[in-house]
Copies of this chain bind each other. A is one copy, B any other.
């Protein structure tokens, strides 16, 4: 099997197409990218094997399931000890309302995107979960007024 150290134009088209619509059949995909279904199948397998192509997921409308409010929350930690960091990052994984968490450069240690039903829910989450966590020193919350863009498709 070829070693995927770089992608050709067909690979790029496959990645673009599947990022947009994971439900495309190999036949439909083949027509779109200009290759045969068999070739597409082999390329997809190679891309999956190389860890480039990840899982297929279904997107859900946040507002319609009562998660219409996004809050960006910056956190500063009390300590930067490895053990505390690991414990905190493990805690992050367990909280479903935390969609993303990045470790940041600058004066704040982490930036979280939290989805909640309303402001009251966020207040509760902030007070009881985040600020109550022993490793957290301070938090600054910024509410999203609207979502101008949201995509999972990387530019390829």
Decide: B98 and A60 in contact? CB cutoff 8 A: no
Decide: B64 and A51 in contact? CB cutoff 8 A: yes
- Tallying the copies of this chain within the complex gives 2
A42: interface (CB < 8 Å): no
A50-B23 contact, Cβ under 8 Å, with A142-B105, A149-B98: no
Decide: B59 and A57 in contact? CB cutoff 8 A: yes
1/0 per residue A61-79: CB within 8 Å of B?
Answer: 1101101001010000000
Report 15 cross-chain contacts, Cβ distance below 8 Å, ordered by A residue: A7-B65, A18-B57, A20-B55, A21-B55, A22-B56, A53-B58, A56-B57, A57-B57, A60-B156, A89-B149, A99-B152, A100-B149, A102-B145, A102-B148, A104-B143
